Amino acid sequence: MMELHICARNGGKVLRKFALGDLEEVIIGRDEDCDIRIKSPVVSREHCTIEQDSTGSLVLTDSESTSGTFVDEKKIDSVRLEDGLEIVIGPAVLKFYDSGI
């Protein structure tokens, strides 16, 4: 199972942890209705989503956010999640880990 750790971009402190189990869709953004909320004006209301693709892999897709979603300082449209991946969204770093469960 994949775990998501949300860390502060300045310092790396872990702010929250989530287990990404059999959820069909996870919406990340600043809106109160998002599954994972990041309170920042540079994060779009619905910034990105995590869904399973046809092979069962988890994929994060940018929802045409204003400020973008970044991997290795490159703006991305979508990326397959794998152990050790780090994604930057505004003031947050999303770190993904395979928990081995």
CATH class, range 2-98: mainly beta
pLDDT at 101 over 70: no
Per-residue pLDDT of 37-69, as tens digits, reads 999 999 999 999 999 999 988 999 999 999 999
Measured on CA atoms in the order 56, 24, 31, 64, is the torsion positive or negative?
A: positive
Q: What would the mean pLDDT of 64-86 be, rounded to a whole number?
A: 96
**What is the value of pTM for the model shown?**
0.91
Q: Can you state the percent helix, strand and coil of the chain, rounding each to 5?
A: 0, 50, 50
* More confident position, 83 or 12: 83
Residue found by looking up tokens 């309170």 in the block: 39
35: left (phi over 0), alpha (psi -120 to 50) or beta: alpha
Q: Which of 7, 26, 25 is nearest to 15 (CA)?
A: 7
Domain limits, the chain? 2-98
